[in-house]
């Protein structure tokens, strides 16, 4: 019996000993052998890290007007578990549906599915985002949801703060800028081309936490700040861009074409001042546009047969080679080359005419004789390539096409048709405007560019600047000057010039029309499908702007003269741009007024300062700001009223009682009363004419302003003191005389329709 007890004790003791040895070995293995691996794993559990998103750089026009920038946004999320626990499903849907544009049966069903969503184990989720309607919504929509949450005392609905890309000018220059998707992917335009520069570098914060996720006391925090993206200052001028898009919109509505493209550049530097296409899109709501044509940048990616605007190449080559004699004559109408008979657009021609008349009338025969018979294939082809056709211009936009120059020198008909821009010649609008600019700037083909400077986001310090770049000298300066004068006659000759509708009184403009039959399924269309264009520059003596406009398939009955569609479009953009750039007319010209653009005041109440200014700029209306706030509270004239030429739109951004009356000195009575009324001042008037002084008082709780007015040239005998009369005498001496000497003064506050 004792032996059995001893044996059992020995076995049990041995077992415990072995267990202890194994445990000690395991402890040694974990604490010594695997210590580093296990510690790293534990740290991963203890620590929490979060990526810090950088601010994406802004995109501005040449004058600093913001065209794209980051701003606050919010993503709507719900807690289905909490909402279900509190039985608030219907209440949550009732608040979110109208705010997110889902107030319809399918939208409400979609919301209810999110609010009641369960995981694979049948448990309600703790958080679900409302995609995509509730993803990165703006501040106004977020405020509506906050009010609904507060009013209904909801639980389980959250607004997660995020960043979103805003485009304050909406569609303006959309194809140039491109857009940045909500998921952080840059699509098209400069947003895509400069994504790495604009995007910046993400940062990170890392710290130790407990099992509930709270930061541990004295934990080591690792912080790497985000590096914000760089900003871009463009060569685009928002004002010229507005002129272009307004004029294009009118042409779009009148002729209902397939597409319109316009590009304006400074021909001396090849700064792109404006670039626009129609149809277009709004980058703020890119998801609402599903047609590829809306997003297609025809200006650099569309290729077409240019037609007669391409004659500038043949003309330039002929002048440079000493072939063009403006007074020599030829028989117009038609010309026979091996394999084809080529006609003028007027098939019967104009009998025997000079080459100068042939240029003005845009005679195909004249250019076949110059390019095919006299220059020959080798020289013609050389100049075509020297002008940049067949190569990309290198502009900073994705998807640029090189066009195609595939003329076969052994096929006479191909050489002949190339002289007037048809056949085996296809180009881009960007190539065309670069070519016409080479004539304007003294014969230099230059590389176009859109980005003027790359800037530091906070300080606007210039990190890099794009300098003008000459690709090659195509023509001698004297040749370019001669060609410019020849092209000027195409517009200035009001009897036979095909570009005469683009004539602008007081300005010397050079240009060329173009009408090209479209190729459909490998054959020229027989259904009046044409592309019409106009390329030119001005003023001839000191070019400030070169411009091309192209209209694809305008709905017109007669294509015999393409200038009937494009010349007025060219003229409107060119005239407004030249006057905006401060180019003085040689003789009195019709002044541009607000009525030329839009006579109805838009509603900008509740707009931000930037959005309001851009909207009124779009209508060519001046702005006068009153107050220090960021949002428009009131405006005068009110929305829908007729805009008065020369009158500024008054925008109030602070509550009237918190805003001081601005200095009204020099204003007409009408303007002064408008400002006073906007700020809820009662006005007392003394005298007539213009405000010379003002004084503000408070009478029985009402704010009063006393306005003293004086007519120009008013003397002391009409109520002035000797000191005031002496001041008027000095003013008269400085300004060249009194009212009697100048005659009757004009009415300075015209009424609508005057």
Task: Assess whether 251 and 224 both reside in one domain.
Answer: no
The answer to whether 346 and 560 have CB atoms below 8 angstroms apart is yes
CATH of the domain at 99: 3.90.1310.10
Q: What percent of the chain has pLDDT over 70?
A: 84
Task: Assess whether 133 and 252 both reside in one domain.
Answer: no
Is 659 domain-assigned? yes
Task: Assess whether 195 and 285 both reside in one domain.
Answer: no
Residues 82, 84, 89: CA angle, nearest 5 degrees:
110
**406 annotated active-site:** no
Among candidate residues 199, 229, 259, the one where a domain is terminated: 229
Residue 528, pLDDT above cutoff 80: no
Interval 207-234: pLDDT, tens: 655 554 555 566 666 778 889 999 999 9
The residue ranking higher by pLDDT, 708 or 352, is 352
Is 234 domain-assigned? no
The answer to whether 421 and 310 have CB atoms below 8 angstroms apart is yes
Average pLDDT of the chain is 84
pTM: 0.71
Question: How large is the average pLDDT for residues 51-63?
Answer: 90
Residue in the block written with tokens 């209440």:
91
* 517: helix, strand or coil: strand
Whole-angstrom Cα distance, residue 536 to residue 543? 10
225 sits in which H/E element:
none
Task: Assess whether 342 and 483 both reside in one domain.
Answer: yes
Whole-angstrom Cα distance, residue 470 to residue 443? 10
Among candidate residues 195, 229, 263, the one where a domain is terminated: 229
The answer to whether 547 and 570 have CB atoms below 8 angstroms apart is yes
The answer to whether 321 and 340 have CB atoms below 8 angstroms apart is no
Question: How large is the average pLDDT for residues 415-420?
Answer: 96
Whole-angstrom Cα distance, residue 298 to residue 744? 54
Residue 735, pLDDT above cutoff 70: no
Residues 194, 448, 56: CA angle, nearest 5 degrees:
20
Residue 754, pLDDT above cutoff 70: no
Is 40 domain-assigned? no
Taking CA atoms, 709 is separated from 670, 673, 681, 735, 745, in Å, by 11, 12, 17, 20, 16
Domain count, the chain: 4
**pLDDT score, position 636:** 84
Task: Assess whether 329 and 363 both reside in one domain.
Answer: yes
Residue 595, pLDDT above cutoff 80: no
The answer to whether 332 and 344 have CB atoms below 8 angstroms apart is yes
The answer to whether 671 and 646 have CB atoms below 8 angstroms apart is no
CATH of the domain at 270: 3.40.710.10
The answer to whether 369 and 397 have CB atoms below 8 angstroms apart is no
Task: Assess whether 82 and 25 both reside in one domain.
Answer: no
Whole-angstrom Cα distance, residue 55 to residue 94? 35
Residue 147, pLDDT above cutoff 90: yes
Task: Assess whether 77 and 23 both reside in one domain.
Answer: no
**pLDDT score, position 385:** 97
Crossing angle for the helix pair 563-580 and 238-255, to the nearest 10 degrees: 160
Strand pairing category for 649-652 and 623-626: parallel
Whole-angstrom Cα distance, residue 391 to residue 303? 12
Is 14 domain-assigned? yes
Is 585 domain-assigned? no
Is 708 domain-assigned? yes
Task: Assess whether 414 and 557 both reside in one domain.
Answer: yes
Task: Assess whether 449 and 573 both reside in one domain.
Answer: yes
Whole-angstrom Cα distance, residue 1 to residue 438? 120
Is 529 domain-assigned? yes
Whole-angstrom Cα distance, residue 383 to residue 509? 24
Question: Rounded to 5 degrees, what are φ and ψ at 175?
Answer: -70, -25
Residue 7, pLDDT above cutoff 50: yes
Is 145 domain-assigned? yes
Question: How large is the average pLDDT for residues 654-672?
Answer: 82
Q: Which two tokens stand for residue 301?
A: 């990616």
Q: Which two tokens stand for residue 560?
A: 């015999």
Task: Assess whether 111 and 219 both reside in one domain.
Answer: yes
Task: Assess whether 560 and 607 both reside in one domain.
Answer: no
Task: Assess whether 572 and 672 both reside in one domain.
Answer: no
Which pLDDT band holds residue 599 (cuts at 50, 70, 90)? low
* 514: helix, strand or coil: strand
Q: Which of 308, 363, 413, 620 is catalytic?
A: 308
The answer to whether 660 and 632 have CB atoms below 8 angstroms apart is no
**pLDDT score, position 519:** 75
- Domain coverage including residue 155: 52-229
Interval 572-587: pLDDT, tens: 999 999 999 999 888 5
Among candidate residues 546, 580, 614, the one where a domain is terminated: 580
Interval 237-279: pLDDT, tens: 999 999 999 999 999 999 999 999 999 999 999 999 999 999 9
**pLDDT score, position 725:** 37
**pLDDT score, position 726:** 30
């Amino acid at each position: 019996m004792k032996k059995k007890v001893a044996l059992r004790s020995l076995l049990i003791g041995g077992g415990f000993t072995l267990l202890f040895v194994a445990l000690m070995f395991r402890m040694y293995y974990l604490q010594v052998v695997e210590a580093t691996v296990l510690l790293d794993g534990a740290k991963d559990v203890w620590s929490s890290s979060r990526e810090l998103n950088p601010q994406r750089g802004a995109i501005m026009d040449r004058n600093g007007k913001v065209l794209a920038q980051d701003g606050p946004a919010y993503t709507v999320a719900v807690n289905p578990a909490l909402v279900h626990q509190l039985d608030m499903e219907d209440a949550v849907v009732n608040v979110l549906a109208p705010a997110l544009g889902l107030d319809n049966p399918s939208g409400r069903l979609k919301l209810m599915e999110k609010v009641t969503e369960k995981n694979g184990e049948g448990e309600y989720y703790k958080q679900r985002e409302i995609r995509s309607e509730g993803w990165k919504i703006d501040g106004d929509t977020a405020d509506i949801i906050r009010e609904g949450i507060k009013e209904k005392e909801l639980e389980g609905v959250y607004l997660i703060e995020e960043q979103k890309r805003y485009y304050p000018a909406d569609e303006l220059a959309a194809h140039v800028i491109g857009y940045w998707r909500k998921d952080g992917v840059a699509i098209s335009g400069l947003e895509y081309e400069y994504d790495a520069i604009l995007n910046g570098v993400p940062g990170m914060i890392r710290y130790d936490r407990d099992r509930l996720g709270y930061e541990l006391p004295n934990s080591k925090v690792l912080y790497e700040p985000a590096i914000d993206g760089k900003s871009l200052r463009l060569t685009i001028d928002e004002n010229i861009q507005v002129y272009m898009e307004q004029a294009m919109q009118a042409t779009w509505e009148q002729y209902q074409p397939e597409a319109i493209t316009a590009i304006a550049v400074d021909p001396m530097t090849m700064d792109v001042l404006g670039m626009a296409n129609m149809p277009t899109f709004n980058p703020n709501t890119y998801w609402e546009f599903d047609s590829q044509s809306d997003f297609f940048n025809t200006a650099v990616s569309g290729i077409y047969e240019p037609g007669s605007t391409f004659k500038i190449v043949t003309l330039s080559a002929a002048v440079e080679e000493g072939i063009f004699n403006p007074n020599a004559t030829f028989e117009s109408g038609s010309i026979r080359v091996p394999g084809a008979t080529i006609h003028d657009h007027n098939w019967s021609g104009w009998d025997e005419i000079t080459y100068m008349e042939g240029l003005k009338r845009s005679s195909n025969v004249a250019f076949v004789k110059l390019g095919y018979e006299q220059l020959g294939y080798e020289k013609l082809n050389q100049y075509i390539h020297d002008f940049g056709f067949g190569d990309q211009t290198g502009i900073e936009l994705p998807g640029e096409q090189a066009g195609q120059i595939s003329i076969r020198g052994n096929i006479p008909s191909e050489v002949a048709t190339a002289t007037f821009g048809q056949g085996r010649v296809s180009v881009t609008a960007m190539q065309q405007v670069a070519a016409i600019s080479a004539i304007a700037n003294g014969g230099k083909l230059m590389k176009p560019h859109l980005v003027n400077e790359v800037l530091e986001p906070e300080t606007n310090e210039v990190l890099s600047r794009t300098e003008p770049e000459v690709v090659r000298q195509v023509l001698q300066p004297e040749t370019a000057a001669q060609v410019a004068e020849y092209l000027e006659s195409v517009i200035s000759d009001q009897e036979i010039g095909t570009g005469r509708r683009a004539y602008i009184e007081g300005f010397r403009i050079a240009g060329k029309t173009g009408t090209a039959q479209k190729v459909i399924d490998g054959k020229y269309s027989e259904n009046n499908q044409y592309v019409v264009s106009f390329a030119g520059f001005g003023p001839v003596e000191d070019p400030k702007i070169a411009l091309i406009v192209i209209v694809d398939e305008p709905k017109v009955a007669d294509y015999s003269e393409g200038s009937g569609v494009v010349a007025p479009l060219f003229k409107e953009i060119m005239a407004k741009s030249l006057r905006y750039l401060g180019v003085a007319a040689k003789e009195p010209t019709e002044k541009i007024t607000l009525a030329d653009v839009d006579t109805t005041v838009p509603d900008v109440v509740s707009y931000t300062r930037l959005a309001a200014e851009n909207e009124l700029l779009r209508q060519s209306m001046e702005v006068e700001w009153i107050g220090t706030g960021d949002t428009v509270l009131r405006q005068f004239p009110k929305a829908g009223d007729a805009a008065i030429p020369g009158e500024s739109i008054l925008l109030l951004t602070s509550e009237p009682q918190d805003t001081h009356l601005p200095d009204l000195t020099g204003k007409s009575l009408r303007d002064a009363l408008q400002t006073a009324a906007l700020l809820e001042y009662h006005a007392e008037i003394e005298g007539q004419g213009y405000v010379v002084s003002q004084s503000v008082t408070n009478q029985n709780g009402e704010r009063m302003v006393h306005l003293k007015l004086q007519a120009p040239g008013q003397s002391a005998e009409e109520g002035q003191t000797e000191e005031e009369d002496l001041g008027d005498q000095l003013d008269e001496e400085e300004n060249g005389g009194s009212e009697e000497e100048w005659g009757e003064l004009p009415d300075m506050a015209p009424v609508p329709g005057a």
